[in-house]
Amino acid sequence: MVLDERLRRAIEGAGEPADPSGVYEDLIRRRERRRMARRAKIGGLSIVVLAGSIAVIVLLSRVFAPTESRPGADGGVAPSVQPDQTPTDVPSTGEDIGLRFPVCNVTSVAGVFAPGVDGTAWVATKTGDVGCPSLGDGMQLVAVDVSGDGVADTSFGPIQCDPWCSTFAAPDVDGDGTDELLIQNIQFTIAGLRLYDVRSDQDPTVTPVTVSSPGYPGEGLAPGAEPQLWIGGDAFDSDALRCFEDQPPPSGPGRVLIQTSASEEPPDSPDAVWRATETWFDLQPDGTVAIVDHGDFEEPVGSGPPSFAQQNRLCGARLPALFGG
Amino acid sequence: MRVDEVAIREFLHTSYPRLVAAVALTSGSRPAAEDAVQEALLRAWERSEKGEEIDSLEGWVTTVALNLARSGLRRLRSERRARSRLAGSAVGAPPTADRVDVDRALADLPRRQREVAVLRYYLQMSIREVASVLELEEGTVKSTLFRARAALAQALGIDENEEANDRGSR
């Protein structure tokens, strides 16, 4: 008790309580700025969608122009099949990706989710009765076209997003020749990612990957938890993901996904070192990940990138440009 | 509970000052701590407005603020903002030698031990509360606290056996 009391007093003396005056007003200002930024982002997204639609219409009108205006370059016979003139039935309040309801705020990524088939994964918001909810509001979901016909074969939702989710990449995390799905669930310069397992069986499924027992509870990786992955960084912090081909079973786990989180300490010092923590994830056939290794290491901060610097590809998938792609 | 203006003002009055100090002790950055606690409070407010239930505002904000403060980028940005705010203003009183020692001793602890020690000794949370905030098992909190306690005692030159000696001399 004496030691605890002395430590309590020592730490008590080191803490300096903050002055709360003016903080409420700061919060109000911060909230307003965020609302304006969100509106601006939605506006920007609408402009991009509109511009994309116009570009597609122009492109299609050129492709399906009257035959006499576009004879074959070699003077051959122009196509005899005329385009269907029926207007495309596009819901005014959302997009149809094959679910039983229209969706909006759609992002997508290409992937091979069934052997040899080019598929697509989407993250989208279910369109409500009064139209598209604001980005970050409403029910956000993930959907996957496994069969390559352009419509979703399976979906999962609602998914937890902060404040909204988007598709990120489709890496082959377990090296079985088909892709898994990474979704960005935390929108920040350092991106928070969640891994989804896609099954292409008779009844395709897409489900969040969870930690198998015993996990690593001390680092928030308790059994059943969805591992929160990170990628990105700045001058003093770096989060990176990479694939590593370990010994194949039964000698080793085979291909593993490695998360490295490192801080430069002390920052901006000639004696600085990267203090890094590495966690090895092994995706199991049942869609869970086993934590097969977890440890710390250090390396000096040199003039070049650290050994764990993010590469532009992850398990065969190209990453978004902001994160090394 | 519903997080509204009344709850926010109450939180600012009662919990905010010490929570910022606690997050500053764990992150080593006062601006990052203020930024993280304010951001966490705002997120709680926004989530409550969307209908999400928050059982304990203090617990929720503590958990999220600690998570946010771990982000190096947020820390860097907060410090830059604070430096630009403070440019030209008077510099505060320098910290005492004792405080520097405690800051250094805490900084030398692994992150998890530092957070457990600060929540336990500064915010005076129970083991169960610390476990809930850090999403750890109570046993993990106890063993982490045991290691933090020994490391802090050594760093601050406090005799761990003092307690036993005191008992023995009675």
3-state secondary structure of A238: strand
Pick among 1.10.1760.20, 3.40.30.10, 1.10.10.10, 3.40.50.1980: CATH of B95-159: 1.10.10.10
Could you state, in order of their start, the residue ranges of all structural domains in chain B? 1-92, 95-159
Give CA–CA dist B117/B125, Å, rounded: 10
CA A109, A113, A119, A121 dihedral sign is: negative
Give CA–CA dist A136/B33, Å, rounded: 26
The continuous run of DSSP H or E covering A52 comes out as helix A23-63
Give CA–CA dist B11/A167, Å, rounded: 37
Pick among 1.10.10, 1.10.1140, 1.10.1740, 2.60.40: CATH of B1-92: 1.10.1740
What does the pLDDT profile of chain A (325 residues) look like in tens digits? 678 888 999 999 988 899 998 899 888 887 877 777 666 655 555 666 676 677 777 667 666 654 433 333 333 333 333 333 333 333 447 899 999 999 999 999 999 999 999 999 999 999 988 889 988 888 999 999 999 999 999 999 999 887 889 999 999 999 999 999 999 998 766 788 999 999 998 899 999 999 999 988 767 788 999 998 989 876 567 889 999 988 888 777 889 999 998 888 776 677 888 888 899 999 999 999 999 988 888 898 887 888 998 888 999 899 987 776 5
**CB contacts, 8 Å: A188 with chain B:** 71, 73
Backbone angles phi, psi at A65, to 5 degrees: -65, 160
Give CA–CA dist A223/A229, Å, rounded: 16
Q: Do domains B1-92 and B95-159 have the same CATH topology?
A: no
A30, A188, A220 ranked by CB distance to B42: nearest: A30
Contact check, Cβ <8 Å, A27/B41: yes
* Residue type at A169 in one-letter notation: A
State the distance between the two ends of chain B, measured CA to CA, in whole angstroms.
49
Contact check, Cβ <8 Å, A6/B8: no
Contact check, Cβ <8 Å, A11/B42: no
Question: What ipTM was predicted for this assembly?
Answer: 0.81
Give CA–CA dist B74/A32, Å, rounded: 20
Could you state, in order of their start, the residue ranges of all structural domains in chain A? 22-67, 159-323
Q: What are the residues whose beta carbons fall under 8 Å from the beta carbon of B19, sequence distance 6 or more?
A: B37, B58, B61, B62, B65, B123
Contact check, Cβ <8 Å, B121/A8: yes
Give CA–CA dist B20/B43, Å, rounded: 16
